[in-house]
Amino acid sequence: MSKTVFELVDQLPKDNMTVKALRSLDFVVPGEWNNLIGFDNTIRTVTGETDEDLIQQIGDRAIYLYNDKSEGYQRALWLYQTIDSASSALGAAALANKVAQNVPFLSMLGNLTPKPEKAQTIDLSLKLVTELLAFCQINGLPGDSIGDFAGALGDYGGESLMRMAALVCFDGLIPLGPDFIMATQSWINKLSPSDLQENPGFKAIGSMIPGGNPAGQLGFIGDSFGSVTGWMSSFVSDRGLTPQNVMSHLQSFVEISADKVDYVGAFLDMTTNYYEHTGVQTLARRLIERAAAEI
């Protein structure tokens, strides 16, 4: 890892396309996420400490834990970063730059095409598996701890819950529609190992997925997704989420016309890195909580 953990937290953007998209989901998980940036600021916020010496000690301990290769924090960050990179298309930087300049991007959407449903469902399931694997790395669990992860989802909060909300909304509801859970399970059941091997996301993180070979890994992906369908279904129904109301809130932060809705999934893939952004925040929080407890 080329950057230290405090650099990663210090350099999180205050406002960009990712932050705008996540803010549009406050109606889904009200008050759960504020864009917490800055390493010292995160220590103060997470611990409530004001003593400068203690803040320094907690920071030093958190940095030590992150740098310890026997811990899983760096591998968790790699997972968050890599799955985001894999779902981004060429030209993302240029398009994001245009958005940052507040230039209307509707004309650019004509250069995008909606992802085929098969590719979208694979990407959704791989992002879910990435969350499971990162959870295991952060908590020192074996990488195949599906039951532990599924059980922990009910306790998710803050940036971790926002990341799952974005997964459901941006990678599920918007590109795949209200039946995205059934559609994804149906596609997983029809996939062959070669389908998986052709996917950029799988090529990127496949070395971390349990299963031994593509056929076994496909089984693990199916089991992982199956373990959270109940949670996802309740999450959607309890909040009354639909592609329409997610789009409506997104449109209050980003200019998107009704006739371009089919392209929004591709646009979000290109211009956001919500897994990495919230993943850095999750890592910082977990490191700081552990460091404070150990001091």
pTM, rounded to two decimals = 0.90
pLDDT at 85: 83
Helix (H), strand (E) counts: the chain: 17, 0
pLDDT at 260: 62
pLDDT at 211: 95
> Given pLDDT bands bounded at 50, 70 and 90, which one contains residue 94?
very low
pLDDT tens digits, one per residue of 54-79: 999 999 999 999 999 999 999 999 99
pLDDT at 100 over 50: no
pLDDT tens digits, one per residue of 274-294: 999 999 999 999 999 999 999
Contacts 24+ apart (CB under 8 A), 173-177: 173/236, 173/241, 173/242, 173/243, 173/246, 174/243, 174/246, 174/247, 174/250, 174/261, 174/264, 174/265, 174/268, 175/114, 175/115, 175/120, 175/264, 175/265, 176/117, 176/120, 176/121, 176/124, 177/243
pLDDT tens digits, one per residue of 105-144: 555 555 555 567 888 899 999 999 999 999 999 999 987 8
pLDDT tens digits, one per residue of 198-238: 888 899 999 999 999 999 999 999 999 999 999 999 999 99
> Given pLDDT bands bounded at 50, 70 and 90, which one contains residue 90?
very low
pLDDT at 191: 93
| SS3 state of residue 255 | coil
CA-based torsion, 253, 25, 160, 31: positive or negative: positive
